[in-house]
Chains A and B, each alone.
Chain A
Amino acid sequence: MMKTVFKRTPTLKDCPTHYCPGCGHGIAHRLIAEIIDELDIRDRTIGIAPVGCAVLAYDYLDVDMVEVAHGRPPAVATGMKRTNPDKIIFSYQGDGDLASIGAAEILHAGHRGEQITVVFINNAVYGMTGGQMAPTTMLDQVTATTPKGRSAAEQGYPLQVSELLATLPGTIYIERCALSSVAQIRKTKKAIKHAFDLQLEGADGMSMVEVLSPCPTYWRMSPTKAMEWLENNMTKVFPLGRLKG
């Protein structure tokens, strides 16, 4: 007698992704797909894809999705949620999208307390454009545009967006997680699910889960090494845990 012990969750499409080996996006996508299926909200969920490596997220997540201008997902989400309060709106954004070009949009969506769920993938680098410095790039981290490593004097310190957003009365739940191990991945799923739950309950404000995610290609490491670097280095600048709510 055969027993199914694991299967693909229906909202995750049955296709290969364009992501590099060891990239965290595939894991994050699967977590979101599982959560949508577990909460049984596929028929009322609208997702927003960013500009960045995850721009084609709609090729992998089988929900209604839109792809928008760089950094603008929180504004688009505002337009969607205000006109469709019964729908579940989530944005999926990288560190360039959310922390750099879209800093104003995320700040003000949080400030207004938009009832949306934000999944913020922080991999400390611009992936799609070729590994340039992100606002969240670590000090001394070598990127395509910080060939000598990021220096605080020249490029500033890594931007801690979650800490910043947690100060706003309009945000109700902010947690930082990591995809660095099975245990951390489980915690990440729990956090994202909580963020969706809050929206389902109609909780009054924005929730965001920051997900530290490996980018072996532009960290110039093996996937295994990238997981270790994430756990040992990134979490020192971006401490894990619940910042609010």
Chain B
Amino acid sequence: MCGNEALAESAIIAGCDAYFGYPITPQNEVPAYMSRRMPEEGRVFVQSESELAAINMVFGASATGKRAMTSSSSPGISLMQEGISYLSGAELPAVVVNVMRGGPGLGNIAPSQADYFQATRGGGHGDYRTIVLGPSSVQELVDCMPLAFDLADQYRMTVMVLADGILGQMMEPVVLEKKKGRELPPKDWALTGAAGRKQNIVRSLWLPEGALEELNNKLLDKYKQVEKNEVLCEEYEVDDADIVVVAYGVAARIVRGAVSRAREEGIKAGWIRPITLWPFPTGQISRAADEFRIFLVVEMSNGQMVEDVRLAVTGKAPVLFYGRPGGGVPTVDEILDQIRQLTLRPKT
């Protein structure tokens, strides 16, 4: 199965009630798959007239307590930012998959990691956060989907799965199985018709003095809980490493190959792979920087996550960057060269 189809099936297994989306490359297999499978399951598929409409359809379904998702790629995700801001203000759960492509503008349809800022900083207006998961294999993409729905429901937040064109198109064997989800709070806020109870209101407008500040602070408390409880990160041979390469998603797979080859050459290299991009594994990276070592950040962009790594390292160690923007994919050799140079190893 390609990544796009696998994530779609995984969402169905995770109990996604409704999928809304608008075609855009390189994620078109998701709506195509959903258009066939969702009706088979007696669930909802709608091809919307735009990404604006798609995210607002998600908003509507979610406001009634249903599990809803959309998927798109970079330019489409830009259009959804309005809706994500409103979802965040209204504290509605939602799952958004971004199969990133090159930008800015129409860019290209090649794989990219250039939407890291947009995803982790909240590309819409206002003081809010979204949880961002950055899988690096089709299996992990599959595993992300039930987690994304659970996190969305638990914290009443938007969870973005940040994949890229390679992951979306790549074929890998996967295990698709229903796993036991988290214990989740009841959706007593949902709009279901006020039968035998008081009216429920889902809103993001708070005009009275202090009312919005109160909401923002409530959101902040929630975001602190997420930062405390939900960081996911993987690391490899960091303890004795002279150089630690930090990368996420597909770039991390290439880094893995480069680090293994560096070790074969006798270079003490390791890697750290953030899986949650927000909350960012600041603690793990900061601890790794307690002993002097070089940090190299590799991204398929001109440097976005590198800023979070620098914030985590807080000047304790040098943080260097190697990236390929605009659809360029770094090779193992390119990264290995960087590792050699930074550890003062001659080119072989």
Which chain A residue has the least Cβ–Cβ distance from B45?
A: A82
Q: How far is the CA of A69 from the CA of B57 in the complex (A)?
A: 12
Which chain B residue has the least Cβ–Cβ distance from A55?
A: B205
Q: How far is the CA of A88 from the CA of B191 in the complex (A)?
A: 11
Contact with B along A106-132 (1 / 0, CB 8 A): 011001100000000000000000000
Which chain B residue has the least Cβ–Cβ distance from A47?
A: B191
Which chain A residue has the least Cβ–Cβ distance from B67?
A: A83
Q: Would you give the shortest CB distance from B119 to chain A, in whole angstroms?
A: 20
24 A-B pairs, CB-CB below 8 angstroms?
Answer: A42-B194, A43-B194, A45-B193, A46-B193, A58-B199, A62-B194, A63-B194, A63-B199, A64-B192, A64-B199, A66-B59, A66-B191, A67-B204, A68-B56, A72-B83, A75-B53, A77-B60, A79-B20, A79-B68, A80-B63, A82-B44, A83-B17, A83-B66, A83-B68
| Chain A: interface residue total (CB-CB under 8 A) | 35
Establish whether residues A66 and B199, one from each chain, have CB atoms under 8 Å apart when the complex forms: no
Establish whether residues B53 and A72, one from each chain, have CB atoms under 8 Å apart when the complex forms: yes
The residues in B between 12 and 44 inclusive whose CB is less than 8 angstroms from any CB of A are 17-18, 20, 44
Q: How far is the CA of A55 from the CA of B48 in the complex (A)?
A: 25
Interface presence of A225 (CB below 8 A): no
Q: How far is the CA of A234 from the CA of B164 in the complex (A)?
A: 53
Establish whether residues B193 and A79, one from each chain, have CB atoms under 8 Å apart when the complex forms: no
The residues in A between 32 and 90 inclusive whose CB is less than 8 angstroms from any CB of B are 42-46, 48, 55-56, 58, 62-69, 72, 75-80, 82-84, 87-88
Establish whether residues B193 and A87, one from each chain, have CB atoms under 8 Å apart when the complex forms: yes
Establish whether residues A105 and B56, one from each chain, have CB atoms under 8 Å apart when the complex forms: yes
Interface SS of chain A = helix
Contact with A along B184-215 (1 / 0, CB 8 A): 00000001111110011111110000000000
Known: A45-B193, A67-B205. A62 touches B53 (CB 8 A): no
Establish whether residues B86 and A69, one from each chain, have CB atoms under 8 Å apart when the complex forms: yes
Which chain B residue has the least Cβ–Cβ distance from A80?
A: B60
Interface presence of B329 (CB below 8 A): no
Contact with B along A164-189 (1 / 0, CB 8 A): 00000000000000000000000000
Task: Please name all residues of chain A whose beta carbon is closer than 8 Å to the beta carbon of B160 when the two chains form the complex.
Answer: none
Interface presence of B216 (CB below 8 A): no
Which chain A residue has the least Cβ–Cβ distance from B207?
A: A56
Among candidates B56, B62, B200, residue contacting A75 with C-beta atoms closer than 8 Å: B56
Q: How far is the CA of A76 from the CA of B63 in the complex (A)?
A: 9
Interface presence of A104 (CB below 8 A): yes
Establish whether residues B191 and A46, one from each chain, have CB atoms under 8 Å apart when the complex forms: yes
Among candidates A65, A79, A88, residue contacting B56 with C-beta atoms closer than 8 Å: A79
Task: Please name all residues of chain A whose beta carbon is closer than 8 Å to the beta carbon of B196 when the two chains form the complex.
Answer: 43
Task: Please name all residues of chain B whose beta carbon is closer than 8 Å to the beta carbon of A45 when the two chains form the complex.
Answer: 193
Task: Please name all residues of chain A whose beta carbon is closer than 8 Å to the beta carbon of B44 when the two chains form the complex.
Answer: 82-83
Establish whether residues B193 and A64, one from each chain, have CB atoms under 8 Å apart when the complex forms: yes
Q: How far is the CA of A84 from the CA of B190 in the complex (A)?
A: 12
Known: A43-B194, A65-B201. A82 touches B46 (CB 8 A): yes
Task: Please name all residues of chain A whose beta carbon is closer than 8 Å to the beta carbon of B199 when the two chains form the complex.
Answer: 58, 62-65
Contact with A along B50-83 (1 / 0, CB 8 A): 1011101111111110101000000000000011
Interface presence of B49 (CB below 8 A): yes
Q: Would you give the shortest CB distance from B153 to chain A, in whole angstroms?
A: 15
Among candidates A58, A63, A79, residue contacting B57 with C-beta atoms closer than 8 Å: A79
Establish whether residues B191 and A78, one from each chain, have CB atoms under 8 Å apart when the complex forms: no
